[in-house]
Structures are given as C-alpha cells and as structure tokens.
Amino acid sequence: MPYYKKLFDETSLSGEKKKRIAEKILLLREALDKQIPARTLNSKLILATWNIREFDSSKGGERLIESFYYIAEIIDRFDLVAIQEVRENLKALNKLKEVLGSNWDYIYTDVTEGIGGNGERMAFLFDRRKVKFDGLAGEVVNQPVRKKEGDKMVALPSVQWVRSPFICGFKAGWTNFMLCTVHIYYGESKPEDSIRVQEIKQIAEFMKAKAEDAIELGNMQSIILMGDFNIFDKKDATFKALTSTGFKVPAALAKDELTGSNVKKDKFYDQIVFLNRQGVFEFTNEAGIFDFYESVFKDGEEAIYEEHFVKKKPEATEEESDGISLASKYKTWRTFQMSDHLPMWVEIRIDNTKEYLTKKAETVVPTPTPE
C-alpha cells in the first residue's frame, strides 16, 4: 500500500488540508474496494493502462502533493500498469514510485524525439512480489519497405511511427507474456484520421507477427497490446484496424455497457487487446474503467482549489475576464492533477495448477520393465 507518512509529515500542508486529504483517500479507497477486486498473491493478475496527462510538466501548473497519493492509491490496486505521457523529467515517476513503496519497480523508454512525439516516454510499473521482468525490453520500429529493383529486392526506409511502441516480457504465476504499450498519433480531431488508422494497422500487424513467432517457438504464451489508441468509437475504422489483425478484446471489456475512457466517457481512446495460446492465458469476467473524479477533485469543488488555478483580481467574479467560468477552468486544471483519461483494467487467471494436475492424473504412464 502507499507510504503515507511523508504526506502527513509535510510542513507545507495545513492541518485542515491534511484532514481533507485523508478523507479523500478514504473515499477513493471505498470506491476502489467496490469496483476493483482485491489483488491475490498467485491466482490472478490485474493489468491496467493509464494515460496520465503530462506526467510531469508545467503545462497545467504544478501537480499537488495530494495528487501523487491519489494516483498511487489507484495504481496500487493493480499488479502491472502501462503508463503513457511520462515526460522527459522523471521527477514525477520517481515520486510516484517512492509513494508506492519498495515493492514497486518500473521500466521506461527514452524520450521520443520530434514534434509529434511530444517529448514523451512510456513506462511499465509493476509489483515485484507478483510480477517478474524477464529481461526482454525494446522499442518497436516500423519495418523497411521491400521493393524489387531489377533482379534484386531492396529495403527502403519506411515512415516511422510518431511514438515508438514499448514492448517488455514479464512472468506471473504460470504464465509468461509480452506487453506492448502504445500512444497512437492523434492528428486531426476526427474519428478516422488516415495517419492514425494506418499507424494502428501497421503496429497491430507487426505485433501479431511477433506474437505468432514467439508463441510458435514456445518463448511466450501471450501478447497483450494496450494503451492510448485515440479511438473515438468502436464502429470506427481505427477500431477495425486494431481488431482485424486477430487481436481480441477481452469479453469483460467488450460489454456494451462499458463506457469510454475519457472524462466524458464518450470516447474509447484506451484499449486492451490480446493474442494467446489457447487455454494458457485466460481472462476472468472482471474488468472496467475506474472514474476517480467520483471521489477526488469532484465536480463542484472548484472553491477548494481555486488558489491553484485562478489569479484573481480584486474585482473578479465567477466569470473571469476571459469569459471562462471557474467551474470550466477547474475541470481543465484537474486533468493536469490526475488525467484526462480514466484507467482501464482487466483481470487474468494465472494459476493453472488444477488443470496441470488433472491432466497428469488422467495420463497413464507405463511402469518401466526391469531389465
């Protein structure tokens, strides 16, 4: 569980603020208890993906101390989390790891160069008591285009993806698997940006080939592709580009009643899909989207945090000089404290002891005949 002592030893926080933060953490924990199953030692694994907005930059103002504890409280309910939008300065990621405690570790990429990459990293945070990093780690690049010139095949440079997908190998329980996290190009604010569709298709095809090779060789049992795909709706070409390659959405995440993962819950930006060797890697019926704004930085709490996002003039009223209400300013500001994405999670069964022993019990092994 998160390490709270430093929070309540913090001299910059008044006693009243510490009391409010403690109440908020309790409220958040209550919501988490109701919506996410308790973690087990060795029978099930809870995976999550979360785009934590500008983690961390000064674009939306400084992240408050309490925000790190709310984020840590959420992450601590999972065993392994893929995080997008980690920035060049690792101060925030290191702070989060410190709050989570010594059982947690991370693996992260270098910063993506170029304007489109936005100076971002991607990372995996995992609880070492449950999950073991198996040594495989790399950033995925688009393969060269092969073209015949005369009687020879030549490899021509291909256009690289805006942010390189990050792939790592892990072990948990009876399973070993690859996780690949992505933050797909956004482009124009429309459902079917052509570059976005192409990028999703290319990455999914590459990862499918990678998965099939690894599974055939017996090196891996499954591959999970997860992250921010910037998919507006499941009816769009972007979603079809992802699933047409053979990747499947876990049944628990495919339910019609499941909301989107943006704050308004009307966009399906974040996804978790998989390919696996049948009977080895099984999802349970537990999965979902967790809305932390029902517990912390709630609607209507702008007055509590006004000092952090509004520089008031003496004559200022609720409608500021720019015509934007305090409520609207607050709703934008809070996304830089927590995120403009909600975490998506899914539970996986990783204990195959019963199946293994049953198979052994049903197998007749001939007794060696003495010579």
Query: What domains lie within the chain, and their CATH numbers?
Result: 5-296+338-353 (3.60.10.10)
78-119: pLDDT as tens digits = 999 999 999 999 999 999 999 999 999 999 999 877 666 778
- State the pLDDT at residue 313: 52
- State the pLDDT at residue 126: 98
In the chain, the amino acid numbered 329 is K
Whether the predicted pLDDT of 216 surpasses 90: no
- Rounded to an integer, the average pLDDT of 347-354 is 90
C-alpha 224/C-alpha 212 separation (Å) is 12
Whether the predicted pLDDT of 41 surpasses 50: yes
C-alpha 121/C-alpha 164 separation (Å) is 9
- Least confident range of 66-75, 281-290, 299-308, 358-367: 358-367
- Rounded to an integer, the average pLDDT of 144-170 is 76
* pTM exceeding 0.85: yes
Torsion of CA 113, 116, 120, 126, to 10 degrees: -110
- State the pLDDT at residue 162: 84
Count how many residues are written for the chain.
371
Whether the predicted pLDDT of 316 surpasses 50: no
- State the pLDDT at residue 27: 98
C-alpha 155/C-alpha 56 separation (Å) is 39
- State the pLDDT at residue 211: 77
DSSP-based three-state secondary structure for 284: strand
Residues 6+ apart with CB under 8 A from 47: 78, 79, 80, 81, 82, 179, 224, 226, 272, 345, 346, 347, 348
- Least confident range of 57-71, 94-108, 150-164, 236-250: 150-164
Straight-line distance from the first to the last Cα atom of the chain, in angstroms, rounded to the nearest whole number: 60
- Rounded to an integer, the average pLDDT of 211-221 is 72
Torsion of CA 76, 80, 86, 89, to 10 degrees: 70
- Residue recorded with tokens 């390490």: 3
Asked if residue 297 lies in contact with residue 338, where contact means CB atoms within 8 angstroms, the answer is: yes
Chain mean pLDDT for the chain: 89
- In DSSP terms, which residues pair with 345 in a beta bridge? 48, 288
User: How many alpha carbons lie under 13 Å from residue 262 in its C-beta half-sphere?
Assistant: 12
Whether the predicted pLDDT of 158 surpasses 70: no
